[in-house]
Amino acid sequence: MATREIISTGNDLSAIAAVDAGCTFFGGYPLTPSSEVMHTISDLLPKVGGTSIQMEDEIAGICCVIGASMSGVRALTATSGPGMSLKAENLGLAQMAEVPLVCVNVMRGGPSTGLPTRVSQGDIKQASNPSHGDYRSITLCAGTLAECYTEVVRAFNLADRFMQPVIVLTDETLGHMHGKAMLPTVEEVKAGIVPRKEFTGDPKDYHPYECGPTEPAVLNPMFKGYRYHFTGLHHDKNGFPTEEIETCRKLIQRLEDKVVVHQNEIELNEEFMCDDLTGEDGEVLIIAYGSVSLAAKEAIRHLRKDGIKAGLFRPITIWPSPAKRIKHFTDKIKNVLCVELNIRQYTEEIERASSRLDLEGLYKVNGRAISPHEIVAKVKEVF
């Protein structure tokens, strides 16, 4: 695979990735610590014929992105915790109407205003169901500077494949970290673009929501002669509101099944120094994600030098969770430490997936990063 070297920040790389992936519209509102995504993409998009708009608030930001996507273009918004809360209702609209878009969430301390300039992973649960109702969220979580780029590229392809919003979580540490990233070439990214499907037959035969029980809608771009209706209400095959019992049931079940049945296309994980874990007494599995995984890797190197065989399981696709892979490791390894910048938000999912309630945890919610030393000390304390 051809690569290129870029020295940049996570926020800038997220913006660069969007443009390289074919995004031509950004709508948003500045919010610490995500603001640089908007700043950077507002410089980049006009150079490729795209448009970047700063709206009056986060709600308007997501609304104009939905409108842009309805016209057929790839569209991005970016924000942090309070902005996600404001975007929630219209993320639900995009789920119901099956409008693809990408939302980068650079996590900070919360709830409410919280710690605007500090790091947190407090939006994990919110990302699983940012709006009310039945559907399956697709949420990716970058753990390196390079993944601030590659996961945004992947998010656009998943959004168009599954016709729904895709959330990319980073955090304040990654967003503002400045360093070297090895990235795929622009040519490789463009060659891998997966365009959304379009209906090309007679307009009278076009029914956008008449699709297989595990498949997404086929929404042709506006202004191309194909008529249908967008709504947040339960709707029929043409998008018009309905309360017909079976139509409503099939619609909502499909919103779930189009993701669940095809989870193998979405799931992505990293397993660091796990190959030699055999399940012997004294071995340790650390589960971490995002910027915390960087500290976990360094801690594992120190633990191994001290004679403690440790490995890292890192979910990159957070939702839907890699439950089978989590269970594979937690069935084999007795000592499991979950490390998060929140209070057990993903640990509860790991407990569900593993059917274990004896997992140890290291959590921090004061806006400061977890250090490798803290992880090493915790492992030696509890195992």
Q: For 127-182, what is each residue's pLDDT tens digit? A: 999 999 999 999 999 999 999 999 999 999 999 999 999 999 999 999 999 999 99
* Nearest Cα residue to 240 out of 209, 212, 218: 209
User: CB under 8 Å to 112, separation ≥6 — which residues?
Assistant: 82
Q: Which domains does the chain have, with CATH numbers?
A: 3-191 (3.40.50.970), 270-382 (3.40.50.920)
Strand, helix or coil for residue 1: coil
Structure tokens, 69: 């996507």
Task: At 11, list the tokens.
Answer: 């926020």
**DSSP per residue, 178-232:** EEEEEEE-HHHHHHT--PPP---S-GGG--TT---TTS----PPTTSS------S
Q: Could you report the per-residue pLDDT of 42-51, keeping only the tens digit for each?
A: 999 999 999 9
- My answer on whether omega of the bond before 320 falls inside 30° of 0, hence cis, is yes
pTM of the model: 0.97
Which residues in 144-153 are b (16+ Cβ under 10 Å) and which e?
A: bbbbbbbbbb
Q: How many CA atoms lie within 13 A of 106 on its CB side?
A: 31
pLDDT per residue as tens digits for the range 116-140: 999 999 999 999 999 999 999 999 9
Q: What is the average per-residue pLDDT within 319-332?
A: 97
Determine the pLDDT at residue 257.
Answer: 98
pLDDT tens per residue across span 240-298: 999 999 999 999 999 999 999 999 999 999 999 999 999 999 999 999 999 999 999 99
For 11, how many CA atoms within 13 A lie in the half-sphere containing its CB? 26
How many angstroms separate the Cα of 89 from the Cα of each of 21, 156, 209, 229, 251?
Answer: 26, 21, 21, 19, 19
